Chain A
Amino acid sequence: MNKISEDISKDLKDQPKFSGDIGSKDQDHHSFELGEQTTLKKIQHFLHGNPTIVPVIILILSVIGFGFIAGGKFFSAFNLSLIVQQVTIVGILAAAQTLIILTAGIDLSVAAMMVLASVFMGKLSVEMGIPTLPAIMVGMISGVATGAFNGLLVTRLRLPPFIVTLGTWNIFFALVIFFTGSQSIRSSDIEINAPLLHFWGERINLGGFVFTYGAFLMIGIFVFLWFLLNKTAWGRHVYAIGDDKDAAELSGIRTDRMLVSIYAVAGLVVAIGAWVSIGRVGSVSPTSFYEGNLDSITAVVIGGTSLFGGRGTIIGSLFGALIVGVFSSGLSIAGLDVLWQRFALGCLIIIAVGIDQWIRKVSN
């Protein structure tokens, strides 16, 4: 986790600081009067410049809070590492979802895309006797293709991403049922015929903390996407498109091509998630992760990324996923019914979007 916290601090450092140098003395035409700002305004400005702070604070507070409520059991190495294991899949889906939401889009089909890719991996290697690695490659291609398909529909037909992915969610889900005949591929069959599919589910024990390889891969994906978004032109263009698509086009960005590539990269991330999910669940089940779409959106929104695009950080989504994990774990250890977990999550989403709206008012 050390690496991540370093990245966060870098992430935060990269954000421009809101300090006195915004309006210098000789700019009498400047309407910005920093001296007269209230504390609340200052907080608003600070959060506007550092969108990752909110989820970090919520995460720290919720960990402390549940430590009090649920006691030592919550803080056990086993439980804390279990939370990380549990958020692995939603975390990876949230990473992909962040890319889409940063472009002011939304992807309701990520979980269905993932299950479809895992079905290809499982079917080909377990039931058709194709070597595991090529089968995994086919799964990856399926992820990129389904992602690009969404992107093409969004850019060519000029349909809203919400509608496109609502449609493709159902299409991908139907394809999953078609290819599997509603039958799961059993964990024992995978273990015999294609044990490589279980690779990311292997565990290692680090002084009582039990991590799956998949948890490390998830963190690796976040770090990779962080570099992509912050250090490359491609990443800057993701933000520019989400911020103002027409302005990006006039600046010389081929926005349609960019959008297709963003959806395709998201699809690739989802397909990697598919491989990890086989290790996590053990089997390939056509009806698994049915709520993964909405869970990933929840993690992104709680992580401080704006649904209106152009604002947010990829690391925030990792925190968002962890917050969801901490809440479900803490509430269940505290002995509360599942319904209250959902209740709390619902409140969290509304609060997160409310804070985002409030922060966004700064720019107007």
Chain B
Amino acid sequence: MEPILVAKNLSKKYGKVVALDDANLELYPGEVLGVIGDNGAGKSTLIKVLCGAVIPDSGEILLDGKQVSFTSPIEARTLGIETVYQNLALSPALSITDNMFLGREIRQKGFMGKFLRFLDKKAMAEEARKRLSELGLLTIQNINQLVETLSGGQRQGVAVARATSFGTKVVIMDEPTAALGVKESRRVLELIGEVRARGIPIILISHNMPHVFEVADRIHIHRLGTRLCVIDPKKYEMSDAVAFMTGAKEPPAN
């Protein structure tokens, strides 16, 4: 099977600090790829390059086998790479619908939309409701509720629903469970399963080993600015992964 997203030989230096040193990454269709690494290993730079927030010094990114380049998260998103940021990038004072369509609003047909540029709030609300129920988030009943009235897990749900709604090819999730309680984290892990079930591959960055081991199909271990190895979570223990990450143990040869 061909990978859907490939990062080849990415390098990035900040002054004398090498954040990425010839790093590679492959994401295959329909999988959840966990990305773990110690603090300062360069995984957050790697992710920022993939979502368009950082431009690499060298290297290339292939999406669906075609070379792509982008200079902003918006450009990456237009190509189908959606990111769910740690802070979610939602506007709390706006409604769920407004947030899901922020920057991609649907306008009314005909004169009202074309010349008066009126929004089609009904169509947006229907679409938002559909997306949320597809992801099993029916507990959110009022689609015009303000996001700030939602719990942390529900907000995550809205952010994920938004990320998977617009012809998305790849979803990058940055520490989705970091700010959540036990039950809410569980719900988000289920959500990741729902997204995978819909055929959208996910890159999951997390510090939480049990979570990564639970949902990831493969785990990419980042160390010293480059990919150390990729392991199968069924064949290794969490303690092994930590040992690879910190350099206490030699990684398996791929």
Contact = CB atoms under 8 A, between A and B. Distances in A.
Is chain B found bound to chain A in the same assembly? yes
B103 A252 contact: yes
Interface string A22-60: 101011111110000000000000000100000000000
A21 B104 contact: no
A29 B88 contact: no
B118 A246 contact: no
B143 to A, nearest CB: 9
B79 interface: no
B132 interface: no
Contacts of A254: 74
Q: Pick the most buried of A231, A233, A362: most chain B CB atoms within 10 A of its CB.
A: A233
A21 B74 CA distance: 34
A248 B117 contact: no
Contacts of B87: 246-247
B252 interface: no
Contact of A247 (B91, B139, B144, B184): B91
Contacts of B154: 30
Interface residues of A, number: 38
A200 interface: no
Interface stretch (A187-195, A234-242, A269-277): A234-242
Nearest to A235: B119
Contacts of A28: 183
A21 B141 contact: yes
Interface of B is mostly: loop
B243 interface: no
B94 interface: yes
Contacts of A26: 139
A17 B142 CA distance: 9
B103 A253 contact: yes
B108 to A, nearest CB: 9
A363 interface: yes
A250 B116 CA distance: 26
A363 B155 CA distance: 13
Contact of A21 (B95, B105, B142, B153): B142
A166 B55 CA distance: 37
B122 to A, nearest CB: 12
A251 B67 CA distance: 24
A248 B73 CA distance: 12
A32 B144 CA distance: 18
28 contacts: A16-B146, A24-B139, A26-B139, A27-B139, A30-B151, A31-B151, A32-B149, A32-B151, A232-B116, A232-B117, A232-B118, A236-B98, A236-B105, A237-B102, A240-B94, A240-B102, A243-B92, A244-B89, A244-B90, A244-B92, A247-B87, A247-B90, A251-B102, A252-B73, A252-B77, A310-B93, A363-B93, A363-B148
